[in-house]
Amino acid sequence: NFLIGGDVLFYRSIGRTDLPGGNHQQLIDSIKNNVFQLPDDCEVFPGHGPSTTIGFEKMNNPFLM
Digit-coded pLDDT (tens) for 3-48: 999 999 999 999 999 999 999 999 999 999 999 999 999 999 999 9
Q: Phi and psi of 48, rounded to 5°?
A: -160, 160
Q: Which pLDDT score is estimated for 41?
A: 99
pTM: 0.94
Helix or strand holding residue 55 (H, E):
helix 54-60
Q: Which pLDDT score is estimated for 2?
A: 99
Q: How many whole angstroms separate alpha carbon 58 and alpha carbon 65?
A: 7
Q: How many whole angstroms separate alpha carbon 31 and alpha carbon 18?
A: 17
Q: Which pLDDT score is estimated for 50?
A: 99
